[in-house]
Amino acid sequence: MTATNHVLAGALLGAYLPLPVAIPAALASHFVMDFLPHFGSPAHERNNSRFYREIIAADTLISLTFGFCALLLNQWVLFICGAIAYSPDVALVRYYISRGGNLNIQATDRFTAWHLKIQHEYPWGLIVELPLIVVMLPLFITQLLNKL
């Protein structure tokens, strides 16, 4: 699942659930969303796919922008829950950076092996991800502006 969808889902859980419950719910949402079919390229094609790299770069910028907006508007719960929802992918980002930008991520521990195993990534997965963004983005913006 894209970082954008993870961040939006976590932030919305933080908006709609009481804080003690929102944090583990945001973390659990990551794995539920990763289990759904979502965008991705076959591992052996990722390093050579300009489209895949551009999607990942845009997704990273968008999700960071949402986090920055939450911080700028003093919406700490939205920021924290969004970050927690994304946090399991930090290990994958670390792998990517330590391997010189290699997008063909290999499991180096049991958690990463399980995390990669539950992924259901397909090039057509954008048709699952885009409606999620279309639904969650207005709710996120409403929550940001409601608290002003």
Name the residue type at position 135. Answer: V
Q: How many CA atoms lie within 13 A of 140 on its CB side?
A: 25
C-beta of residue 126 within 8 angstroms of C-beta of residue 37: no
Instruction: Give residue limits of the domains in the chain.
Output: 3-146
pLDDT one-digit tens code per residue, 109-119? 899 899 989 99
Mapped onto helix, strand or coil, the DSSP state of residue 122 is strand
Mean pLDDT of the chain: 91
- With vertex at residue 92, the alpha carbon angle to CA 90 and CA 94, rounded to the nearest 5 degrees, is 70
Reported as a single tens digit per residue, the pLDDT across 20-44 is 999 999 999 999 999 999 988 777 7
At 95-135, the pLDDT tens digits run 778 877 777 778 888 998 999 899 998 989 999 999 999 99
Confidence tier at 46 by pLDDT (50, 70, 90) = confident
pLDDT at 9 over 80: yes
